[in-house]
Chains A and B, each alone.
Chain A
């Protein structure tokens, strides 16, 4: 069964062209580097989309997975179920103009342009481990800002116990949404409020110092480094505050395989494969062939372990 939902944004909510064309300049101005915008785009090195990023104490010192692997091996079912499809099929995906609807248990609901969303935030680099539920992992230098900072701006009410996120539903642009063997669209993910407000949880707009490649979830995606990758929803168009736990896409697809929490946990196997070990991609050719141990909460237990105190994680997986 497909969940139907009007995919179109009313024309009244579409950002005027003149405004969205300023986005690049805008981001640079925010960073106090307006002068850079005067340079022709070709002269700007790839890594200077976001110059002078703030470093973060939350970053790992591990060597990041090479750029071509991060951008050519993606799970983004909206663009097909193979790992190579997103890089090919997302090429013409339009990420400008972009807006995000904020609704539910919140004081300031509304539809905000991406520029409005990003405006007050200082972008920083967060080098995080990413562990996929399929037992492979990468290290990715994200560019983003804490989700908590954004959520606070809209004033979640006391009823906001969970935050749900939705990916764009636009089969014309996302061929995977037309496939016979596909998920219930739009893709929905969710977090408990305290998870969403944790400083490790970020919204990313870039990686490797450049604007987020389309196959990696442009223009705005979630990154929750202690959970399996499918929780880190891509190309977000809606953030919904709710009192009840949202029904997430993979959770509906296979309730015994993909839980709501989806915390990285070597002690709780996926029914079809073990989660004790993982293949860390990148690095040397030979080292990426073999498996290494998976760490509880993907190595972030010290920071987020307390969120799950007293819970039976084999049941709340």
Chain B
């Protein structure tokens, strides 16, 4: 066990706790009624943006590892990926709850028509559905069961998910696309770094 492995032993729980902070903050502010005039919109936006941020952090691990030679970083990747999935679940559930619970009941038909008719929801839903198999196969047992090569092939879907997530954000904006553009640029850099290495 080298020094860096030792460091990781406490970095990992630290990251685990820090990654929960956006949710804690959201809950504290909700209980204090400090989520602004439109709390539902705030919750939808925050859970969505953190799902995207953790996804990009997950994609950052490999280039960072190569840059620093700190190979143990890989041990953080699964956790970051699962946090992305966690916030995506909260995002999806808030959408069901705040946009589709009407007079106390969940209306299915508008959900389906939203997914089919609204392009930004279509791509967002697509990204979420694609995340499911990745989350399910993220444990060591499933990794062994699938075998390294098949597992890796499956998990390349993360690139598609990230692209869909950025498009989802871009398409829902009314006019000022400066924020989604920032995420698109970061994603482009992360994807480019991989391509560069492959060449």
A173, CB-defined interface residue at 8 Å: no
Chain B, interface residues (CB within 8 Å), range:
20 to 34
A289–B40 touching, CB < 8 Å: yes
Residues in B neighbouring A274, C-beta threshold 8 A: 110, 114
Measured in the bound complex, the distance between the Cα atoms of B36 and A288 in whole Å is 11
Report the bound CA distance from A83 to B36 in whole Å: 10
CA distance A82 to B174 in the complex (A): 11
Query: Are the CB atoms of B33 and A285 closer together than 8 Å?
Result: yes
Q: Is the CB of B36 within 8 A of A73?
A: yes
Contact flag A73-B38 (CB < 8 Å), given A274-B114, A291-B102: yes
B178 within 8 A of A: yes
Residue on B nearest A279 in the bound complex, by CB: B40
Distance A105 CA – B175 CA, assembled complex (angstroms): 34
Query: Quick check: B37 and A81 within 8 Å, CB to CB?
Result: no
* Residue of B43, B120, B176 contacting most chain A CB atoms (<10 Å): B176
A-facing residues in B9-49 (Cβ within 8 Å): 30, 33, 36-41, 43
B102 contacts across to A, CB distance below 8 A: 277, 290-293
Which stretch, A21-29, A176-184, A238-246, touches the partner chain B? A176-184
- A181 and B175 in contact, given A272-B120, A290-B101, A291-B98 (Cβ under 8 angstroms): yes
A181 to B38, CA, bound (A): 24
Assembly CA distance A65 to B37 (angstroms): 9
Q: Which residue of A lies closest to B114 (CB)?
A: A274
- Residues facing B in A70-103 (CB within 8 A) are 72-73, 77, 81-84
Are A183 and B98 closer than 8 Å at their CB atoms? no
Which one of A179, A282, A288, A293 has the greatest number of beta carbons of chain B within 10 Å? A288
The CA-CA distance from A291 to B174 in the complex, in Å, is 21
- Tell me whether A291 and B99 are in contact (CB under 8 A): yes
Most B C-beta atoms less than 10 A away, residue of A84, A253, A291: A291
What per-residue 1/0 map shows which CB atoms of A233-256 lie under 8 Å from chain B?
000000000000000000001000
Quick check: A73 and B37 within 8 Å, CB to CB?
yes
What is the interface size of chain A, counting residues whose CB is below 8 A from a CB of the partner?
A: 33
Among A82, A272, A282, A289, the most chain B Cβ lie within 10 Å of the Cβ of A289
Q: Would you give the shortest CB distance from B40 to chain A, in whole angstroms?
A: 5
Measured CB to CB, the closest approach of chain A to B48, in angstroms, equals 15
B176–A84 touching, CB < 8 Å? no
Min CB–CB distance B33 → chain A (angstroms): 5
A-B contact count (CB 8 A): 69
- Secondary structure of the A contact surface, majority rule: loop
Which of A73, A81, A276, A291 lies in contact with B176, CB distance below 8 A? A81
Q: Are A72 and B178 in contact (CB under 8 A)?
A: no
**Chain B residue at smallest Cβ distance from A134:** B174
Contact mask B181-194 → A, CB, 8 Å, 1/0? 00000000000000
Chain A residues, CB < 8 A from B97: 289
Asked if B74 is at the interface of the complex by the 8 Å CB criterion, the answer is: no
**Nearest CB in chain A to that of B100: its residue:** A291
Chain B hits for A84, CB < 8 A: 36
Asked whether any CB of chain B lies closer than 8 Å to the CB of A69, the reply is: yes
Per-residue B-contact encoding for A275-312, CB less than 8 Å = 1, 0 else: 01101011001001111110000000000000000000
Q: Is B177 an interface residue (CB 8 A)?
A: yes
Hey, which chain A residues are within 8 Å of B119, CB to CB? 272
Residue among B37, B110, B114, B172 with most chain A CB within 10 A: B37
* B118 at interface, CB cutoff 8 A: yes
Q: Is there contact, CB below 8 Å, between A181 and B33? A: no
| Chain B residues whose CB sits within 8 angstroms of the CB of A182 once the complex forms | 175-176
Cβ B37 vs Cβ A289 within 8 A: no
Complex partner residue of B118 from A82, A180, A273, A292, CB under 8 angstroms: A273
Q: Mark A172-196, 1 if CB is under 8 A from B, else 0.
A: 0000000111110000000000000
A181 touches which one: B40, B114, B176 (CB < 8 A)?
A: B176
A317 at the interface (CB under 8 A from B): no
**Which residues of B lie under 8 Å from residue A289 when comparing CB positions?**
39-40, 43, 97-98
In the complex, 12 of the A-B residue pairs with CB atoms within 8 angstroms, ordered by the A residue number, are A72-B37, A81-B175, A83-B38, A134-B174, A180-B178, A181-B176, A182-B175, A183-B175, A253-B175, A272-B171, A274-B110, A289-B39
Q: Interface residues, chain A, CB within 8 Å of chain B?
A: 65, 69, 72-73, 77, 81-84, 134, 136, 179-183, 253, 269, 272-274, 276-277, 279, 281-282, 285, 288-293
